Chain A
Amino acid sequence: MKTSLLICATSLGLAASLAAAPISFDFKDPKGVNAIQFSLDSVLEPIAGTASGITGKVSFDPANPGATTGKINVATKSLVVPNSMMNGHLLGEGWLNAPANPEITFELTTLAGAKTANNVTSAIATGKFTLKGVTKEIKVPVTITYLPDAFGKRINKPEIKGDLLVLRGEFTITRGDYGIQPGQNEDKVNTEIKLSLAVVGSAPKA
């Protein structure tokens, strides 16, 4: 009897610890819709575009969202604006110099003030943002939406089990802080760049 109880307790403990384990979400989206939107004011109209080359992994524990860690990478060459000439300038040596700076990254170090309701966690993410080879610590208000068992539905294969994690956030950087034409062309292109993040990570279950 004692042995049975011990086995039961051990099994429950093991199950609980497995259920509470952090889940690793891969942000290389199988549907290819992950993107970061950016915009900055300029003469005539705002320059708005997207960066779609998102990769990275985030470790998220549904039982402890505040312990979330991870890193999101953006391929610099994936930045697109509607005008081809502007696109060339944006990726060229004078601006982002994409060949020399192939990645833009955000590495999450801490998540403060996490509040969770209905699988949605709001918090302030602190992390290291790297752009054009310059790394600075920034704080970003984020929402993290945990969607259990939604992976299969999203890829139209409900038989495949797995979870999704949606990250959303908006922040503004000053281009001069990252060595992007500091003090130059400020009358033509605003110094502030608004970045909007809405990406989904997948954790299929084998």
Chain B
Amino acid sequence: MSKPAFRSILAAGALLTLLGSIGYWLAMGAHRGWSQHRVPVSQTDEVTGIAFTTYENRFVPGIDVLGAGVALAAFFFALSFIFRSPQPLPSTP
């Protein structure tokens, strides 16, 4: 595979990673805190009036996941510069 083609693949991968991570984070609730591996659910005991918390076992990505996605996209994008086409040498007069 030629260097320009590989560069294009990395740049496209970076864009897909960026959009994918933003889209995944938005679709999963755009939680602006740390990721949650269990989600607190508030309930109330009818007789005593005590408010208590139960947990649903599901994953909610936080900004750490978003940050990791953006960082990975930035890494792919930076990597793509290694595979630039060789620049022609400036012509001497």
Residues of A within 8 A of B (CB): 31, 33-35, 37, 44-45, 48, 50, 80, 82-84, 86, 145, 147, 150, 153-154, 164, 166, 198-200
Contact = CB atoms under 8 A, between A and B. Distances in A.
6 contacts: A33-B45, A35-B52, A83-B35, A83-B37, A86-B34, A147-B48
Given A153-B47, A154-B48, A45 B36 contact: no
Contacts of B38: 80, 82, 84
A164 B47 contact: yes
Interface of B: 32-40, 43, 45, 47-53, 55, 62-63
Contacts of A37: 53
Contacts of B62: 83
Most buried by B among A50, A82, A199: A82
B48 A166 contact: yes
Contacts of A33: 43, 45, 50, 52
The binding surface of chain B is classed by DSSP as loop
A43 B53 CA distance: 23
Given A35-B53, A37-B53, A50-B53, A83 B48 contact: no
B67 to A, nearest CB: 11
Contact of B37 (A31, A45, A82, A166): A82
Given A44-B63, A82-B55, A198 B50 contact: yes
B32 A45 contact: yes
* Cβ-closest 4 pairs across A and B: A45-B33, A82-B36, A154-B47, A84-B37
Given A37-B53, A198-B51, 11 more contacts: A31-B45, A34-B50, A45-B34, A48-B40, A50-B52, A82-B37, A82-B40, A83-B35, A147-B48, A166-B48, A166-B50
B40 A147 contact: no
A82 B54 CA distance: 11
B39 A147 contact: no
A147 B37 contact: no
Contact of B36 (A31, A83, A150): A83
A31 B38 CA distance: 21
Contacts of B35: 83
Contact of B50 (A80, A150, A200): A200
Name which of A48, A147, A150, A198 has the most chain B CB atoms within 10 A of its CB: A198
